[in-house]
Amino acid sequence: MAVKLKDLAQMEDKLVAGHGMCLGCGIPLIFKVILRATEDPIIVSNATGCLEVCTTIFPRTAWNCMWVHSAFENAAATAAGVEAMYKSLKNKGKIPADKKIKFLAVGGDGGTYDIGLQALSGAMERGHDIVYVCYDNNVYANTGGQRSSATPLGASATTSPAGSKSPGKIQKKKDLTKILAAHNIPYVAQASPHRWQDLYNKAKKAFEVEGPAFLNVLCLCPTEWKYDESQGIKLAQLAADTCVWPLYEVENGKYKVNYKPKEKKPVLEWLKSQGRFRHLFKEENAWMLEAIQKDVDKDWNDLNKLAQISGA
At 274-286, the pLDDT tens digits run 999 999 999 999 9
Query: In Å, how far are 30, 35, 63, 104, 204 from 17, measured between CA atoms?
Result: 14, 14, 9, 20, 23
pLDDT of residue 82: 98
Residue 24 reports pLDDT greater than 80: yes
CA quadruple 263, 217, 176, 205: dihedral positive or negative? negative
d(CA 190, CA 187): 11
Given pLDDT bands bounded at 50, 70 and 90, which one contains residue 312? low
CA quadruple 192, 198, 204, 210: dihedral positive or negative? negative
113-122 mean pLDDT = 98
d(CA 185, CA 21): 32
Residue 18 reports pLDDT greater than 90: no
13-19 mean pLDDT = 91
Query: In Å, how far are 10, 87, 120, 139, 229 from 173, measured between CA atoms?
Result: 38, 37, 18, 11, 24
Residue type for position 250? V
pLDDT of residue 213: 98
Length of the chain: 312
Q: Fill in the DSSP letter of residue 230.
A: G
Distance between terminal CA atoms of the chain? 20
Q: Which CATH number fits domain 5-310: 3.40.50.300, 3.40.50.970, 3.60.21.10, 3.10.150.10?
A: 3.40.50.970
d(CA 131, CA 146): 27
Neighbours of 88 (CB within 10 A): 11
Given pLDDT bands bounded at 50, 70 and 90, which one contains residue 208? very high
156-165 mean pLDDT = 94
Residue 2 reports pLDDT greater than 90: no
pLDDT of residue 75: 98
Mean pLDDT of the chain: 96
Neighbours of 155 (CB within 10 A): 25
Residue 311 reports pLDDT greater than 80: no
Residue 40 reports pLDDT greater than 80: yes
